[in-house]
Amino acid sequence: MIPTEDASARKREIEEKLKQEQETLSFIRENLEKSDQLTNGMVSILSSFESRLMQLENSIIPVHKQTENLQRLQENVDKTLSCMDHVISYYHVAKDTDRIIREGPTGRLDEYLSCIAKIQKAVEYFQDNNPDSPELNTVKARFDKGKELLEAEFRSLLTRYSKPVPPILILDAISVDEELDVQEEVVLEHLPEAVLQDIICIAGWLVEYGRNQDFMNVYFQIRSNQLDRSIKGLKDHFRKNSTSSGILYSPAVQTKRKDTPTKKAPKRPGTIRKAQNLLKQYSQHGLDGKKGGSNLTPLEGKDDVLDIEIDSYIHCISAFVKLAQSEYALLTEIIPEHHQKKTFDSLIQEALDNLMLEGDNIVSAARRAILRHDYSAVLTIFPILRHLKMNKSDFDATLQGTAASTKNKLPALITSMETIGAKALEEFADSIKNDPDKEYNMPKDGTVHELTSNAILFLQQLLDFHETAGAMLASQESSSASSFTSDFSKKLLSTYICKVLGNLQLNLLSKSKVYEDSALSAIFLHNNYNYILKSLEKSELIQLVTVTQKRAESSYRELIQQQIQDYQRSWVRVTDHLTDRNIPVFQPGTKLKDRERQVIKDKFKGFNDGLEELCKIQKGWAIPDKEQRDFIRQAQKKEVSEAYRTFLQRCANISFTKNPEKYHKYRPEEVEEMIERLFDTSA
């Protein structure tokens, strides 16, 4: 059982808690009632606010819409006013730009193009909005006038500032200094930079807005004229400043700084003029039947001019390539890309045609000269043809993209030169073979014939132009197109040289028969064969000859030796008197019979007379080669002297006459001295 006190305490505790709970519950109820009152009050307020807000909205929205309409109307009015101002400005464009358009673009291109742009916009406006308005015609006329003045300005700028390139600058641009590893590029400035930019600007406008290509015709006509004038100026410079040697004295060389290397102009071999002179003399005198002379003075002045013309033409070819390349670089900045090749083709035509015409004239002159048997004309072709071939790759690169007729002009000229050159070579070989044997044209002293010297001199020129000459001959071969090589042309040239030498040998052999004295014929052939051999060796022609004739050198030596032997036979009639034939056999102290004495007298007399006669005749003969002259003299002295001494010893103890000094006229030493004076025209 639970004690009574504890139960009472527990009861009191529970009652207190219950009382507290009741108080709490009463508090909550009171608060809930207040909350309900507040909620009802808020609901009432919100309902009143909602009602008022709806009333406000119904009042504001119409006002807002009316305000938006008013703003839109204001914006439309502003836009309309702006458009009106813009449209009205088009009606004033003609008046506003009148002064600037009339005065032209000179000196104020940017401002002028700005005015043109305004006029163009006015034209577009009236065309789109009012095509029937008189204002359209006005602005169109103003636009056309502006375009016309721009075209005139384009022409004026080009004409005023396009000048021929000075000859000295051209020479500096095309010259090559072999001593310099890196060549300094010479820039050809055709137009001042500011002017060039104006021209580019005008050209761009004419293409984009002017719808006009006439300015391209204006461009190529003006620049074509300047290109042609530049090349002609170079020709005139050559005529005025060239020396007879064909080397140009350039004032630019004198004005260069000391540390600036002097550039060298291309040179041609200095022997060409000499060869031309000699060959012309030969062709004019030898073939025409007139006696040739040694005075070349009348030909020199003419050949000096010819040399200058050749050098001038060669330089003009190089100048054309350099100037054309420069013109194309300038053209690409001004002319639209798809019109550049056609415009360039037109631009270079006049200068190119003039060069090709000049080349054709050279070919025609060579052809006429060949008809006159003046084969020196081919020497004019050689340097030009070589230069054309050397520059052909540059030519082709420069003319790339031009018309086929333009690109084919140089190859046609080269072919023409090769054809006429090959013809001259072949006809020269035939002329060597067929040169007539004329007694009055033969050297009286048996020296080298002018035919020989001219033929060798002509062949020597082939060394300097051996590739060109070989190509000339190869161009006439039907198989050359497929088999042409350097070795092939070298063999053809070797064959040609051997043909000329063979023809020359045959002709010389025929000419030698003109001499009545066989000994003089031998001397003549000896001199000519020796001259040919020495010339071949000195000029290295022998190397070309041996390409096809391995034994050429030894063959000539054999021919020379054979002629020496033929000459020595002429002394047989002298030495024959010194032989033992018909000399009587006798004992010392034996008296000779009259017939026997007469035999010895006749031998002495025959020897003396023969010696005197031969020395008298042969002293006037010539052997120009000192080595050969001394060799022949020594051999003859030895042969005659030994035979004479032997004869004198045999007759020393024979009494065949009372006047021995009458027959024993010469001592052996005197005989040797007489022979020593042979072939000495000065003695």
How is residue 562 written in tokens?
């054979």
One-letter amino acid for residue 631 of the chain: F
Query: Which DSSP letter does residue 256 get?
Result: S
Which residues, in sequence order, are CB contacts of 246 under 8 Å at separation 6+?
267, 268, 273, 307, 308, 310, 311
Q: What is the Cα–Cα distance from 203 to 216, expressed in whole angstroms? A: 9
Other Cβ atoms within 10 Å of 275 Cβ, number: 18
Contact status, residue 174 vs residue 322, Cβ threshold 8 Å: yes
The CA distances from residue 567 to 437, 532, 562, 572, 623, in Å, are 21, 19, 9, 10, 12
The CA distances from residue 212 to 118, 119, 154, in Å, are 19, 17, 12
At residue 393, the pLDDT reads: 93
Mean pLDDT by 10 residues, the chain (683 residues): 76 89 89 88 86 81 80 74 56 68 80 79 74 74 82 91 91 67 68 91 85 84 94 90 47 32 38 44 37 32 65 92 94 92 94 94 90 83 92 92 93 92 91 84 91 92 86 74 69 93 94 93 96 92 91 94 95 88 64 81 90 91 93 93 89 76 88 89 56
Q: What is the pLDDT of residues 504-528, one digit of tens each?
A: 999 999 999 999 999 999 999 999 9
The residue behind tokens 């390539």 is: 321
Instruction: Tell which residue, 272, 601, 327, has the closest CA to residue 457.
Output: 272
Which residues, in sequence order, are CB contacts of 437 under 8 Å at separation 6+?
507, 510, 511, 513, 514
- CA 377 to centroid of chain Cα atoms: 21
Phi and psi at residue 281, in whole multiples of 5°? -65, -40
Contact status, residue 598 vs residue 533, Cβ threshold 8 Å: no
Contact status, residue 242 vs residue 178, Cβ threshold 8 Å: no
Q: Is 166 left (phi over 0), alpha (psi -120 to 50) or beta?
A: beta
How is residue 197 written in tokens?
């930019």
DSSP string, 633-658: HHHHHHHHHHHHHHHHHHTTT----S
35 CB-contact burial (10 Å; exposed 0-12 / middle 13-18 / buried 19+):
exposed
CA dihedral (661, 664, 667, 670) positive or negative = positive
One-letter amino acid for residue 11 of the chain: K
Q: What is the Cα–Cα distance from 192 to 198, expressed in whole angstroms? A: 10
At residue 682, the pLDDT reads: 60
- Evaluate if pTM is beyond 0.75: no
Longest CA–CA span in the chain (Å) reads 226
Q: Which residues pair with 242 in a beta bridge?
A: 248
Contact status, residue 597 vs residue 657, Cβ threshold 8 Å: yes
At residue 244, the pLDDT reads: 40
Q: What is the pLDDT of residues 369-406, one digit of tens each?
A: 888 888 877 788 899 999 999 999 999 999 998 999 99
The CA distances from residue 267 to 52, 247, 384, 601, in Å, are 115, 7, 12, 71
Q: What is the pLDDT of residues 600-638, one digit of tens each?
A: 888 889 999 999 999 999 989 999 999 999 999 999 999
CA dihedral (588, 592, 597, 599) positive or negative = negative
At residue 358, the pLDDT reads: 93
Q: What is the pLDDT of residues 547-587, one digit of tens each?
A: 999 999 999 999 999 999 999 999 998 998 888 776 766 66
CA dihedral (655, 656, 661, 663) positive or negative = negative
At residue 76, the pLDDT reads: 80
